[in-house]
Structure 1
Amino acid sequence: MFLKINTIFAIIFIFGTLICTIKPQPGPPVVDETTRWKKCFPTNQSIYDFQVETLQGEYTDLSQYKGQVLLIINVATFCAYTQQYTDFSPLIEKFNSKGFTILAFPCNQFYLQEPAENHELLNGIKYVRPGNGFKIHKNLHIYGKLEVNGENQHPLYEFLKDTCPGTINQIGKREELMYNPIRQNDITWNFEKFLVDRNGFVRYRFHPTAWSHGQVLTPFLNKLLAESYKA
Structure 2
Amino acid sequence: MKTFITIIIGFLMVQTPLFAQGIYDFQLETLNGKQASLKEYKGKALLIVNTASRCGYTPQYQELQSLYETYKSKGLVLLGFPSNDFGGQEPGSNQEIAKFCQQNYGVTFPMFSKGPVSGSGKQPLFKYLTEGTEADLKGEVNWNFEKFLVDKKGKVVARFRSSVEPKSKPVIDAVEKALK
TM-score, normalization by structure 1: 0.64
RMSD between aligned alpha carbons?
2.0
Over the matched positions of the two proteins, sequence identity in percent amounts to 38
* Residue of structure 1 in register with 2:83 after alignment: 107
Partner SS state of residue 81, structure 2: strand
Q: Does 1:135 align with 2:106?
A: yes
Q: Distance in 2 between matches of 1:149 and 1:194?
A: 14
**1:194 aligned onto 2:148:** yes
Offset from partner CA, 1:165-210 (integer Å, 9 cap, x none) = 577xxxxxxxxxxxxxxxx921010000000111222111111112
Residue 153 of structure 1: aligned partner = 122
Whole-Å separation in 1 of the counterparts to 2:67 and 2:58 = 15
Which residue among 23, 29, 43 is the counterpart of 1:53? Answer: 29
Aligned residue identity for 2:54: F
The 8 Å contact of residues 110 and 190 in structure 1, kept in 2 or not, is answered as yes
Quick one: distance in 1 between partners of 2:29 and 2:101? 19
With normalisation by structure 2, the TM-score equals: 0.81
Runs of 5+ consecutive residues of structure 1 not aligned to the other structure: 1-42, 168-183, 227-231
State the match for 2:98 in structure 1. Answer: 122
Structure 2 unaligned segments of length 5 or more: list them. 1-18
Query: How far apart in 2 are the matches of 1:166 and 1:116?
Result: 33
SS of residue in 1 equivalent to 2:57: helix
* 2:5 matched residue in structure 1: none
- Structure 1 counterpart SS, 2:32: coil
**TM-superposed deviation, 1:87:** 0.7
Shift of 1:64: 0.6
Higher relative contact order (CA 8 A, sep 6+): 1
User: Which stretches of structure 1, 4 residues or longer, exceed 3 Å deviation after superposition?
Assistant: 164-167
Q: Match for residue 180 of structure 1?
A: none
Quote how far apart the aligned CAs of 1:212 are: 6.2
The one-character-per-residue Cα deviations of 1:112-155 (angstroms, maximum 9, x if unpaired) are 0000011111222244xxx2xx3123xx1111101111221111
More helix by share: 2
Letter of the structure 2 residue corresponding to residue 207 of structure 1: R
